[in-house]
Structure 1
Amino acid sequence: MIGDLLVLLRDRLDAYLHAAAATAGDDSPEDRAQLIDGDKADSVDFRLNAISILLVNIQHENHLRAPDPWLRVTPDGRQQRVAPDVRLSLSVLFVARFKSYALGLNQLALVIRFFQTHPVFDHENTPGLPAGVEKLAVELVTLPQHEQNDIWSALRVHYQPSVMYRVRMVVLSDPAGVTPTPIGQTVVRTRRIDA
């Protein structure tokens, strides 16, 4: 599901960047937004003249849990014991690598403008949103300099103009409502410590 959501965001952003380029008189069919190709294990390769999208972190959002996360009420009103939902937020990096530095910055500004005008993706404004996802909220994240350095060092590449967004709320739930298997007897072992 996470991959599908990133593909959805890429496609929507790519369409927006194509529309902006067409307005400026550039109707090139090349992708303007792309997901990072995962075939290289040592370093990341950001494609030239494109916005590259990279998932940097997945965080568990546990502060929005229900009082009893193991309980779900079915549409007919019955209560059912299920595995609790896992609510995630994704840290997604958008990197502009262009021959012209100014063009790269302008493309990055278009990414910011896109998410400024599209801060929420739901089934009404995004028909391709997976059925298990109610909505996605996207917010700009400003990282401190040392965290930016950590990311670029981990990627093993030189810094490129970039912006990070937090995408929440990706909810992974138990669609079948299967009751979790009970845990067997717990054996407590004690150890004697001689003084």
Structure 2
Amino acid sequence: MIYQTLRALVEQLNDFLRVTFTLSTDIVQLAPIQVEADNADNRVSVSIVGLERETAAGIRFERQAAGNSQLGTAPKWLVNAHILFAVLFKEKQYGEAVRVLSAILLFLQRHTSFVVPESGARYAIEPVNLSYADQASLWGMLGVSYQPSVLARIRLLTIESGEIVNISASVEGHDTATKAGGGGAGSTEP
């Protein structure tokens, strides 16, 4: 599910950049950042730099009736993915890298949500603000020097195995108050 979502995002961004810059090849790749600026190969790297579980919606165990039994599944996880769009161009082409970064920002501003064709699922995407200290920490963690980039969050990816984790027998309930002879308060029965 995460792979299909990122692949769809990469394909849509490649389409946008091909039209914007009249490119003949794709420059956006789903790949980690492993290249220093002097050896960069003029590409945009899209990579996951973090995942966080969204708990605002609560956690629900799903139950389904199956004859006289109830089937329980593990709760769905809603996950936000932090995605780094890094423009990796040779140092002498810094101006071009900034132009591509500007186009990526325009793409994100125009496409605040996108659809994954295989599933039809729609996901929201938004930029994430980082302090200078957080940026330095992120790029230090990646082990490379800073490159023109933007961090974005894809909201509410659903992780669900659908695996049954519990089977329990159904108990038919009876309303004993109305069958015990008294209708309760306000009853007109003797």
TM range (shorter): 0.7 to 0.9
The two structures, once aligned, show a CA RMSD in angstroms of: 2.4
Match of 2:106 in 1: 113
User: How far 1:172 moved relative to its partner?
Assistant: 1.0
CA contact (8 A) 1:84 1:174 kept: no
Correspondence for 1:45 among 27, 35, 39 = 35
| Structure 1 residue identity aligned to 2:53 | H
CA distance in 1, matches of 2:166, 2:35: 42
As a proportion of its length, which structure holds more strand?
2
SS across alignment from 1:109:
helix
User: How far 1:70 moved relative to its partner?
Assistant: 0.8
Q: Describe the superposition over 1:30-67 as per-residue Cα deviations: whole angstroms up to 9, x where unpaired.
A: x2111115xxxxx723742111111100110011125x
Structure-2 change in CA distance of 1:109 and 1:79 (3 Å) = farther
Larger Rg computed on CA atoms = 2
SS across alignment from 1:62:
coil
How high is the TM-score relative to the length of structure 2?
A: 0.75
1:144 aligns with 2:145: no
- Identity, % of aligned pairs? 27
Match of 1:134 in 2: 121
Correspondence for 1:62 among 34, 55, 59 = 55
User: How far 1:8 moved relative to its partner?
Assistant: 1.2
User: How far 1:180 moved relative to its partner?
Assistant: 3.3
Match of 1:88 in 2: 79
Match of 2:88 in 1: 97
Aligned length: 160
Runs of at least 5 residues in structure 2 that lack an aligned partner in the other structure = 169-190
CA distance in 2, matches of 1:168, 1:84: 18
Match of 1:34 in 2: 29
